[in-house]
Amino acid sequence: MAANLTLDALKSQIDEGTIDTVLVCLVDMQGRLMGKRFHARHFIDSAWEETHCCNYLLATDLEMATPDGYASTGWQAGYGDYVMKPDLDTLRPVPWLEGTAMVLCDVLDHNTHKDVPHSPRALLKKQIKRLEALGFDVMMATELEFFLFEKSFDDIRKENFRDLAPISGYNEDYHILQTTKEEHVMRPIRNHLYNAGIPVENTKGEAEAGQGELNIRYAAALDCADYHTIAKHAVKEIAWQKGHAVTFLPKWDRSRTGSSSHVHQSLWKDGKPAFVDGNDGLGMSDLMKNYMAGLLKYAPDYTSFLAPYINSYKRFQKGTFAPTRTIWSVDNRTAGFRLCGAGTKAIRVECRIGGSDLNPYLAMAAQIAAGIAGIEEALELAPPTVGDAYAEDTGLIPQALRDAVGTLRGSDMLRKAMGDDVVEHYVRAAEWEIEEFDSVVTDYEIARGFERA
């Protein structure tokens, strides 16, 4: 697999004429890449040290609106600058774009040059450092689910997102014949990402027509979040290049299965898995039980980081492989948390709550914080649920963003772990989503009440 670029290797490729453009990117609140395209010569002359961006990039929404109510920035403060500090460990080629390399940036305060605390990468790095102080490293992996459509982004938008047709006509879960028909998109996704230094394992058909999944090898948490973000961006760009649209909207049709982004995680100590205990019936160490108990106890607190939009909650439906309850079970896909690899060195916990729209840095940071709380509080893990978790009557996932923002606002655990200012920042982001949705008259309301009301 191609390694990430060093600055010296980049200089050589620029001299050879192989690379002429460098994407200098930050990760925004929504988990998207934002930034600038630098002429490669200017990047190696000076921009590799730092560049600047408007601070509204971490106080906006999917539409790039400028909501009021953020303490960090706004019209009253004139929307100043942040520093974008390239993390040269993330410098890599972008094989699906001609002559292009990419680097991810940390976002720093313009005056102090310290991390902006509500920036997604800073949030995750803070929780990783908290674990390191306890003597542990955290390894994570995410699964990326999405839908591929017959038509392009532009065609679908011009047709007002109506009569959407997935690229296939039937459920393609693990289906080799149907996914062969999609290889003109999926093969370059796998190969380009692999050649960009992202350890892709496989793609597969998922449990709906036109639904696919991309799996990337587990890695240290920050690397995992970087891989997830770059891969999601690449899937969109490569699908666009092939004339197709792709969506990571968790529930684009009420009658179809939604798209998730499951998060697998385990703690390691001195290079060895710390969740393993061969004397336990399931192979779980006491540490793992404490950590999982924290994930379960505080799941309502951090649900808005796993399901950040109104649409996110449409996915939580019985009998759809999307969970409805924050309970755990052994190798059981009906529960919110699944124990995987029981009795092996690969033992880990899979959080199944998150949708394909999550920001991986925020989702991972929140779960690490909950796990640390479980360790510090020595929480006891309840026995696993057996059978159909949908039939249980405890541990209900917040049913709407309005519910989840309430539990986020009231979370003493997250305020202690992340800081009051950070929690209030993301509370405001969720409130804005609710305010925007509440002001919209939907097609459903018109069709239901136009004549009959």
Structure tokens at 64: 């790039």
The answer on 94 and 207 residing in a single domain is no
Query: Is 317 among the domain residues?
Result: yes
Q: Is residue 373 part of a domain?
A: yes
Of all residues in the chain, the percent with pLDDT exceeding 70 is 99
Residue type present at position 202: N
Helical segments of 263-359, H only: 286-297, 299-306
CA distances from 140 to 38, 183, 281, 434 (A): 32, 27, 24, 31
133 and 89 co-located in one domain: no
Residue 249 lies in a domain: yes
pLDDT of residue 1: 46
Would 98 be classed as within a structural domain?
yes
Residue of 197, 223, 227, 207 lying closest to 215 (CA atoms)? 227
110 plus 133 within the same structural domain: no
Predicted model pTM: 0.96
pLDDT at position 3, please?
A: 59
Domain check: are 27 and 165 in the same one? no
Give yes or no for residue 226 having a pLDDT over 50: yes
In this predicted structure, what is the pLDDT of residue 182? 96
- The verdict on 313 and 421 lying in the same domain is yes
Minimal CA–CA distance to 306: which of 262, 264, 256? 262
pLDDT > 50? residue 367: yes
Mean pLDDT of the chain: 94
User: Do 273 and 418 belong to one domain?
Assistant: yes
The answer to whether 29 and 359 have CB atoms below 8 angstroms apart is: yes
Looking at residue 4, what is its pLDDT?
82
Cα 11 to chain center, whole Å?
Answer: 32
The tally of domains found in the chain comes to 2
Quick one: pLDDT band at residue 132, thresholds 50, 70, 90?
Answer: very high
Q: How far apart are CA 36 and CA 14, in angstroms?
A: 18
pLDDT score of 268: 97
Q: Is residue 194 part of a domain?
A: yes
Quick: pLDDT tens for 375-405. 999 999 999 988 877 877 788 899 999 999 9
Residue type, 216: I
Residue 323 confidence class, pLDDT cut points 50, 70, 90? confident
- Are 275 and 420 in a shared domain? yes
- Is the confidence at residue 348, as pLDDT, over 50? yes
Q: What is the pLDDT of residues 74-95, one digit of tens each?
A: 888 888 999 999 999 999 999 9
Q: Which of 95, 116, 137 is the last residue in one of the domains?
A: 116
- CATH number of the domain residue 19 falls in: 3.10.20.70
pLDDT at site 346: 93
283 and 402 in a single domain? The answer is yes
Cα–Cα dist 315/320, whole Å: 8
Where residue 138 sits, what CATH number does that domain have?
3.30.590.10
The stretch 259-286 carries a mean pLDDT of: 95
Q: Is the pLDDT of residue 341 over 80?
A: yes
- Answer whether residue 26 is part of any domain: yes
Q: Residues 166, 95: one domain?
A: no
156 and 54 co-located in one domain: no
Q: Which of 116, 149, 181 is the last residue of a domain?
A: 116
Domain boundary among 116, 138, 159: 116
Domain containing 24 equals 7-116
> 149 and 44 share a domain?
no
Tokens of 105: 């940036």
Total number of residues shown for the chain: 453
Residue 2 has pLDDT above 70, yes or no: no
- 58 and 134 fall within a common domain: no
- The answer to whether residue 297 sits within a structural domain is yes
Residue 1 lies in a domain: no
Average pLDDT over residues 208-231: 97
